[in-house]
């Protein structure tokens, strides 16, 4: 029998500044950290319970406790796909097992997946949070040399918000994220403006479950599904107005299921975006395996923290510099 020691804990990571979206304001990132020890080797993973999906810290810790005996006895990542629901708890333990397997085998995760290691820096979206248009313009101006900006908007005055951001940053590519706050009328009425402002992607404009209006809808720019899609099993119900899917490990419940979603989405001809919650670099490192195949990468979560984990990712003017090779996924 495999002998493992499993620990799971909550960590509250203060943000350097408030993060505002249409659903509210965040000042602290509450994360779950899982560590699994086997033969003296430690594997780590992190998940972010998200209230939008009915998750909280206590429920995530309880879910981990419920499968604790199985994990300690040697349960595999595939076993967890059957034993746990998709979400932050499964993400944390799945990624911890990937890390543990790599360190025990001496073969890094990225090597096992046929990816270059270390990965080269990749452009990541840097986020302009929801605010008054003048403040959004100023925030965008600070990011004017970045390759990609993601702008959070709502339904109060999205045209003014978008114009302000483009005025502050004339050159970067743009992702517009209303976080489910628009109606189909806004999607239609803002099409010309978004085309004029050279928006590259519109992310989840309509509420999940209320996006049937996108079935057969022809948009002037690609529309990405975020809250409307969690795992590969959701693809069959996705309206065809979506041409991109946002893969987040906290939604899929880990890297194992994220790879399954990646493959299924590509088989359907859908483009990929890799996203994240506000988190530490321990959440981001596994997501780089999906980012390698993504047209859009949005992994700036740790850049909002007052302090990230040592050895994590870095921001070089909008280029995501991967973590140290011994940070997650094995060592060299």
| Residues assigned a catalytic role | 152, 248
312 touches 325 (CB < 8 A): no
Cβ partners under 8 Å of residue 242, min gap 6: 214, 223, 224, 225, 228, 229, 270
Q: How many CB atoms lie within 10 A of CB 6?
A: 19
313 touches 298 (CB < 8 A): no
45 touches 37 (CB < 8 A): no
What is the rounded CA–CA span in Å between residue 158 and residue 152?
9
Q: How many CB atoms lie within 10 A of CB 148?
A: 22
What is the rounded CA–CA span in Å between residue 59 and residue 49?
9
What is the rounded CA–CA span in Å between residue 59 and residue 292?
32
Of 150, 113, 85, nearest in space to 289 by CA: 113
Encode 291-306 in three state secondary structure: HCCCCEECCCHHHHEC
Pairing verdict, β 24-38 and 5-21: antiparallel
């Amino acid at each position: 029998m495999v002998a493992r020691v499993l620990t799971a804990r909550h960590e509250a990571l203060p943000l350097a500044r408030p993060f505002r979206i249409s659903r509210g304001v965040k000042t602290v990132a509450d994360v779950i950290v899982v560590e699994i020890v086997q033969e003296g080797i430690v594997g780590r993973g992190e998940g972010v319970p998200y209230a939008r999906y009915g998750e909280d810290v206590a429920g995530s810790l309880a879910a981990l406790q419920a499968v604790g005996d199985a994990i300690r006895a040697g349960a595999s990542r595939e076993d967890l796909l059957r034993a746990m629901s998709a979400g932050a708890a499964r993400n944390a333990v799945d990624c911890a097992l990937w890390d543990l397997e790599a360190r025990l085998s001496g073969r890094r995760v990225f090597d096992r997946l046929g990816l270059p290691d270390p990965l080269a820096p990749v452009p990541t979206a840097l986020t302009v949070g929801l605010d008054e248009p003048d403040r959004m313009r100023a925030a965008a101006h600070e990011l004017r040399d970045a390759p990609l900006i993601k702008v959070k908007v709502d339904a109060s005055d999205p045209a003014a918000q978008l114009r302000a951001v483009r005025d502050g940053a004339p050159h970067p590519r743009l992702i517009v994220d209303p976080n489910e706050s628009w109606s189909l009328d806004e999607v239609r009425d803002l099409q010309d403006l978004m085309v004029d402002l050279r928006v590259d992607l519109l992310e989840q404009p309509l509420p999940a479950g209320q996006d049937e209006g996108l079935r057969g809808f022809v948009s002037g720019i690609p529309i990405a599904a975020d809250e409307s899609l969690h795992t590969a099993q959701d693809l069959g119900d996705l309206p065809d107005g979506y041409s991109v899917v946002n893969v987040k490990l906290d939604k899929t419940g880990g890297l194992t299921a994220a790879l399954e979603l990646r493959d299924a989405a590509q088989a359907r001809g859908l483009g990929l975006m890799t996203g994240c919650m506000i988190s530490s670099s321990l959440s981001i490192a596994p997501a780089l395996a999906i980012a390698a195949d993504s047209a859009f990468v949005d992994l700036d979560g740790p850049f909002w923290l007052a302090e990230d984990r040592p050895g994590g990712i870095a921001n070089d003017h909008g280029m995501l510099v991967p973590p140290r090779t011994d940070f997650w996924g094995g060592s060299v």
